Amino acid sequence: DPNKDIKYCAVYPKFGFGVKLPYHLQDYCVLDMLSEGVFGQVLHCLKPTSAETVAVKVLKKEGQYSLKRELAMLHRVQQLDPEKCHVVKFIDTFVWNDNTCMVFEMLDCSLIDFCKRRKKRPNLSEIRVIAQQLLMAFEALGELGIVHTDLKPDNVMLVNCKNQPLKVKLIDFGVAHLKSEMKLGSSHQNIYYQAPEVSLGLPLTEALDMWSLGVVLVVLYLYQRPFSGSSPYNKLRTISCVVGGYYKDTLMAMGFLNLLRKLLHVDFSKRITPSEALQHEFITLEYFEENQDEYVKQARDLMGLSGPLQIPLAMQFQLPQMNAVAVPLGKTLNPPCL
């Protein structure tokens, strides 16, 4: 029954490893269900004519109230180079059984799933690489006048954990807005990543994405939500003690903390912008420009740098396989290795 949820019904004979094949969605064969939510499913699909695997987001009828805006945002985002700007590649859209389907490139896993898979928290060198790519994404979106409004670890995907273990892309533009159309009450930010101006009823700007980025970076480092309990000031003080206390190199710790403070500035008008953050010393490694220690070289390698420090804003990441030592999840927080 096409009105029911998709069920496996066959095995695609072309593949020896037994890929399950249920219904055809237009030109695509469904291989697996990646996730399911209130308003639809995300399916792992194959296009037999090209052997290309893609992710197809199938919206249920009741979840299509905001579809027009989402598609408009995706078509705008299509103007960007998905590799240089670190945004998901939107491929196509079609209607199947009265359900709208959106086709995206197939990515690997979310940031949180990546940490769970390898049972390690990212260290500061890895966090730097992730932060730079997201800043590049927000800088590019800002040039198009788009505010994402829903940054959280689930909406940051690893492209290929094996071959490019730190290359990330921003996904899910379902609640994105044009900067010119932002108004009070228009943000649907997850409460844990919500900027203070949202709850205070203040004007909304692209700065709310920078707040969310600050929270995401803290979550990556501490592997816990920083603002779920006490005030942001108390939490930031705790973060300061934890990060500063566990890094022998105070320049590295202080650079990270300084960037966090600028991202998590309560006054949105004073919050750091993506362009400014890309020039921040934590991202550029400016304070290590003359340092040739092994750990500094490794940090630069992760950033794709060599020789004199010059950071092109549209840098293409080709990242080496890492053997970083960090804290296993669920264990006592010990100093991660730079």
Q: What secondary structure does DSSP assign to 28-91, as a single string?
A: EEEEEEEEEETTEEEEEEEETTTTEEEEEEEE-GGG-TTHHHHHHHHHHHTTS-TTTTTBPPEE
Token digits of residue 177: 């807005």
Mean pLDDT for all residues in the chain: 76
Residues tagged active-site: 150
Do 191 and 228 contact (CB within 8 A), yes or no?
A: no
With cut-offs at 50, 70 and 90, classify the pLDDT of residue 35: confident
Token digits of residue 243: 């990060």
Please indicate whether residue 242 or residue 78 has the higher confidence score (pLDDT). 78
With cut-offs at 50, 70 and 90, classify the pLDDT of residue 8: very low
With cut-offs at 50, 70 and 90, classify the pLDDT of residue 330: very low
Please indicate whether residue 10 or residue 181 has the higher confidence score (pLDDT). 181
- Does position 257 have pLDDT exceeding 80, yes or no? yes
Do 133 and 317 contact (CB within 8 A), yes or no?
A: yes
Beta bridge partners of 41: 36, 58
- The 10s digit of each residue's pLDDT in 24-34 is 788 899 988 88
Which of the residue ranges 36-50, 138-152, 226-240, 283-297 would you say has the lowest mean pLDDT?
A: 226-240
pLDDT of residue 201: 82
Beta bridge partners of 143: none
pLDDT of residue 286: 79
Token digits of residue 42: 């995300």
Token digits of residue 259: 């960037």
CB neighbour class for 291 (10 Å; exposed up to 12, middle 13-18, buried from 19): middle
pLDDT of residue 10: 38
Residues 206-229, mean pLDDT to the nearest whole number: 83
Q: Is 296 helix (H, G, I), strand (E, B) or coil?
A: helix
- Does position 143 have pLDDT exceeding 60, yes or no? yes
- Does position 241 have pLDDT exceeding 70, yes or no? no
With cut-offs at 50, 70 and 90, classify the pLDDT of residue 253: confident
Residues 211-236, mean pLDDT to the nearest whole number: 74
- Does position 202 have pLDDT exceeding 80, yes or no? yes
Question: Which DSSP state fits 280?
Answer: S
- Does position 274 have pLDDT exceeding 90, yes or no? yes
Amino acid at 62: E
Do 232 and 239 contact (CB within 8 A), yes or no?
A: no
pLDDT of residue 279: 96
Please indicate whether residue 318 or residue 20 has the higher confidence score (pLDDT). 20
pLDDT of residue 185: 60
- CB neighbour list of residue 237: distance below 8 Å, 6 or more residues apart: none
Helix, strand and coil content of the chain, in percent to the nearest 5, comes to 35, 20, 45
- The 10s digit of each residue's pLDDT in 275-312 is 999 999 999 987 666 555 666 666 667 766 433 333 33
Which of the residue ranges 17-31, 116-130, 146-160 would you say has the lowest mean pLDDT?
A: 17-31
With cut-offs at 50, 70 and 90, classify the pLDDT of residue 198: confident
With cut-offs at 50, 70 and 90, classify the pLDDT of residue 22: low
With cut-offs at 50, 70 and 90, classify the pLDDT of residue 38: confident
What are the chain's domains?
A: 24-105 (3.30.200.20), 109-302 (1.10.510.10)
pLDDT of residue 237: 63
Token digits of residue 57: 């987001």
- The 10s digit of each residue's pLDDT in 51-106 is 899 999 998 776 666 788 889 999 999 999 999 999 999 999 999 888 899 999 99
Residue in 267, 80, 263 with CA at minimum distance from that of residue 170: 80
Q: What is the pTM of this model?
A: 0.77
With cut-offs at 50, 70 and 90, classify the pLDDT of residue 153: very high
Cα dist. 210→63, 137, 229, 262, 266 in Å? Answer: 28, 11, 21, 9, 11
Q: Which of 113-127, 222-236, 317-331 has the highest mean pLDDT?
A: 113-127
Q: How far apart are CA 210 and CA 289, in angstroms?
A: 26
